[in-house]
Structure 1
Amino acid sequence: MARIKGVSIPTEKRVIIALTYLYGIGNTTAKKILEKAQVDESIRVKDLTEDQINIIRTVVDEYTVEGELRREVLQNVKRLKDIGCYRGLRHIKRLPAHGQRTKTNSRTVRGNVRQTAGSGRRALTKT
């Protein structure tokens, strides 16, 4: 198994798919990385030579991925919270920050807990 930026990428998958296992690399970025490294995107990871893997590593090092990217995103959100701007307040209240409606939906941000009011009557139990 090849390791890039501390992440083991699967050997049986095609390189373009395997690169997306890194946080911060999607299909488009993976395609650009392979173009820059001059590696065929249809080749499997197990068929890569050590030289090709090293070239891919050097190209990936130019991008902000994995721990660095996670840290950067957390710092950005923390900065928004500290300065008290609207988006920061939305993050603090755990509500959508990009103008979505909250009367319905917004379950992803608020958590998948549905609080519905019952009728107040207890269900009849069979005896």
Structure 2
Amino acid sequence: MARLFGTEIPNEKRIEAALPYIYGIGASTAKKILEQAGIDPDLRTGQLTDEQLTKIVQAITSNGILIEGDLRRAKQIDLKRLSTINCVRGIRHRRGLPVRGQRTRTNARTRKGKKKTVGAQKKK
């Protein structure tokens, strides 16, 4: 298996489909990277030479694409900033509620967690 930026990339897949295994690279970014590196997207990852792999790494670093740990760190810093300035988005992140204006009276279970029933208890 090829290893790029600390991520194992499967050998049997096309390089265009294998690059999105790296956190921060999607399908469209993978196409741009391969185009810039001058590599055929239909090649299998196992067929790539060391020279081609270094071209891919150079294309990613030269474009300034944040990937893996750097991207995770940047996202964490952004959330911390929103939280410290007490903006609405930061408060919603802190409370674990939907951030982008979704309805919360019903639904929103992915964000809010398991349903907690609140109300009067039946007397025994």
Scaled by the length of structure 2, the TM-score of the pair is 0.89
1:27 alignment counterpart: 27
Number of positions where the alignment pairs a residue of Structure 1 with one of Structure 2: 121
Q: Deviations over 1:6-57 (max 9, x none)?
A: 1111111110111000111110001111111111111100011111111001
Distance 1:54 1:76 in 2: 31
1:106 alignment counterpart: 108
1:3 alignment counterpart: 3
Larger radius of gyration: 1
1:72 alignment counterpart: 74
Distance 1:2 1:60 in 2: 16
Q: Can you give the 5+ residue segments of structure 2 that lack an aligned partner in the other structure? A: none
> Hey, which bits of structure 1, 4+ residues long, moved more than 6 A?
none
Q: Deviations over 1:49-106 (max 9, x none)?
A: 1111110011122310010000000100000000101100001111011111111221
Q: Can you give the 5+ residue segments of structure 1 that lack an aligned partner in the other structure? A: 121-127
Q: How does 1:33-48 map to 2 (within 5 A)?
A: 33-48=33-48
- Aligned CA RMSD, in angstroms, stands at 2.0
Letter in 2 for 1:54: T
Distance 1:101 1:89 in 2: 16
Query: Relative to structure 2, which stretch is displaced further, 100-109 or 77-86?
Result: 100-109
The sequence identity of aligned pairs, in percent, is: 47
Partner SS for 2:11: coil
Distance 1:98 1:28 in 2: 25
The counterpart of 2:94, out of the listed 84, 89, 92, is 92
Letter in 2 for 1:24: G
